[in-house]
Structure 1
Amino acid sequence: MRNEINRPPMAVILAAGVGSRLSPLSDKCPKSLLSVGGSVVLERMIRNCLSCGMSQFVLVLGHRAEEIKQFVDKTFRGIRVTYVINERYRDTNTGYSLMLASAAVGTSEFVKLDADVVFDVKILRQLLDTDLPNLLCVDRNNAVGTDDVKVIVDEEMKVLEVGKSGDAKLALGRSIGIEKISAKTGPLLFKELAGMMGDYAHLQDPAETAYARLVDNGTVFRALDITGMNWVEIDTAEDFAAANAAFGTPVTTVSRGQQRAIDEAKEKVVTPT
């Protein structure tokens, strides 16, 4: 029973979108299969998950789904991955894609990741090492724009509001598209999403809209401050260039023990004066 309690969360990766704002880069290649710093974006994400002990994956696919599936199957032989297809990817958003993952997730705790986010594995380690349930990774220093998901919190980092319509001046910062959802909250979230997606007006809602509705109904979400750690959401050619500047080397799968040894070795290096 103890192993069940301590089992790492499942990774739910939403990779159904077209990525039209990245054209022409995305014209012949899915956004998640673009290469950043010598590694494919999706490969970076999966290796980061593996480095943190996560071994179960749900990939929600749509645009160029077969290409993405073939890449994952070839690159990561033997991992436990369930593919879910969003046939309506052209007229839906991450809320609809996440809803489709319900059956594959069941009642498991999971981490939801938008497939267009390139991030330092330290962000995921911190998310998993925090015992609190229902966490949104939030960056305080990244400029908050009109189209960004804004997170407003109280003094205890409890989420009061989350969504694109929030007041940027009141926001702690912007959500980066990575969240941990508890086993208790998951079924409530999927029920909320199913209700929303029954209305055509909500088909384009992002997953965060459902978080906001749960918050309004009393479910506790908290913000995890990841300010200072590297991450880039790739929506445009400028974002793609920024990601390559921030992540200049290929990713590898590194266990916690290996990372600890690397960090300790760095600390022993004497900086010349």
Structure 2
Amino acid sequence: MKALIIAAGRGSRLRPFTEDMPKGLIPLLGLCLLERIILSVKEVGIKDFVIVTGFKGEKIKDFLEKKVDALGVEYVDNPAWHRGNGVSVLSAEKKLKNEKKFLLLMSDHVFDTKIISIIISQSKILNPKSNWACLLGVDKNLESIHDLEDATKVEISENGSIISIGKDLSKYNAVDCGVFLCTPQIFEALRIKINQGNEDLSSAVALLSEQGKAKTVDISGNFWIDIDTFQELKIAEN
């Protein structure tokens, strides 16, 4: 299995750190965000990576070649990095279209490695005989979510199926933690939504949920945080 990491964004709310440096290279307790994610994924036995770069992407390549074992790392440059994150995911299609399934993560999320293990433990659900195309890690402990207003909210059914997903939901009972296990069907869903003018990854997950192909995995009780601001960086440090 491969891991796809989206590291294309700039992170404008973290300026001046990101004035001349991609968000994934922001340091956190001796390791940059991207390096921390790679090491976490390697802990669960995944050794092959596809990393989508964009803003100052050459700095990510230079850094990883010096700091991390670069064997098994492939890069995809997304010149349209300023667009929705779904565009960055779709740009990796050629590298992953023949995979049965792959892990999908964001370079600005910090999380307990156990979250990956929990989601991968459900990977047998994604098989040619089943209808599922996407597993999404969700946190049901809403009171523990920092910046709930900006979080991607999810309404899930009793059996874990996704009813609806998006940042502006008024009815929800969980939050997307930014860790996915997908089949290549996600790329066709992205293509459809992007052609309709919606470039967010969550819109493609919503389409798969409408087709009965997206399911959640409960990771509640495990630490994770989406680092968009200096305050969130401070929380991660503590």
User: Are the aligned partners of 2:138 and 2:216 in contact in 1 as well (CA < 8 Å)?
Assistant: yes
Match in the other structure for 1:177: 178
Residue 152 of structure 2 is aligned with which of 149, 153, 156? 149
Q: Which residue of 2 aligns with 1:140?
A: 140
Greater radius of gyration (CA): 1
- Distance in 2 separating the partners of 1:64 and 1:86: 11
Question: 2:84 is matched with which residue: 93, 113, 116?
Answer: 93
Residue 156 and residue 196 in structure 1: after superposition, are their counterparts in 2 closer, same or farther (change >3 A)?
A: closer
Partner of 1:103: 94
Q: Give the equivalent residue in structure 2 for 1:162.
A: 165
From 229, 238, 241, the counterpart of 2:231: 238
TM-score norm. by structure 2 comes to: 0.89
Which residue type is aligned with residue 97 of structure 1?
S
Shift of 1:236: 0.5
Q: 2:221 aligned to 222, 228, 232, which one?
A: 228
Q: Percent identity?
A: 31
- 1:96-121 CA distance string (max 9 Å, x none): 00010100011311111011001111
Question: Aligned partners of 2:113, 2:41: CA distance in 1, in Å?
Answer: 8
* Separation in structure 1 between the aligned mates of residue 96 and residue 70 of structure 2, nearest angstrom: 19
Question: 1:50 is paired with a residue of what secondary structure?
Answer: helix
| Distance across 1 between alignment mates of 2:212 and 2:118 | 25
Deviations 1:101-149 (A, max 9, x none): 1000113111110110011111111111223332111112233733321
Q: Take 1:189 and 1:138, find their aligned partners in 2: how far apart are those partners? A: 18
Alpha-carbon distance between aligned partners in 2 of 1:78 and 1:34, rounded to the nearest angstrom = 19
Q: Is 1:18 equivalent to 2:18 in the alignment?
A: no
Cα deviations by residue, 1:147-169 (Å, 9 ceiling, x for unpaired): 321111111111111122322xx
Alignment partners' CA distance in 2, 1:216 and 1:235: 29
Structure 2 segments unaligned to the other structure (5+ residues)? 127-133
Report deviation, 1:78: 4.6
- Give the partner amino acid of 2:193: M
Aligned to 2:225, the other structure's residue is in SS state strand
C-alpha distance after superposition, 1:145-199 (max 9, x if no partner): 33321111111111111122322xx3221101110113xxx2x321121233335
Runs of 4+ in 1 over 4 A off after TM superposition: none
Which residue of the partner structure matches residue 58 of structure 1? 50
Letter in 2 for 1:228: G
The question of whether the paired residues in 1 share the 8 Å contact of 2:193 and 2:203 is answered with: no
Name the SS of the counterpart of 2:148 in structure 1: coil
Aligned length: 226
Using the alignment, how far apart are the partners of 1:56 and 1:193 within structure 2?
A: 23
**How far 1:71 sits from its partner (Å)?**
1.1
CA distance in structure 2 between the partners assigned to 1:16 and 1:214 by the alignment: 24
Counterpart CA distance in 2 for 1:227 and 1:196 is 29
SS state at 1:224 partner: strand
User: 2-side partners of 1:150 and 1:77: how far apart?
Assistant: 35
1:113 is matched by which residue type in structure 2? L
CA distance in 2, matches of 1:12, 1:61: 11
AA aligned to 2:79 is E
Aligned 1:257-268 pairs, distance under 5 A: none
| TM-score calculated relative to the size of structure 1 | 0.78
Partner of residue 212, structure 1 = 206
CA distance in 1, matches of 2:92, 2:65: 19
Structure 1 stretches lacking a partner, 5+ long? 1-8, 246-273
Deviation of 1:79 after TM superposition, in Å, equals 2.1
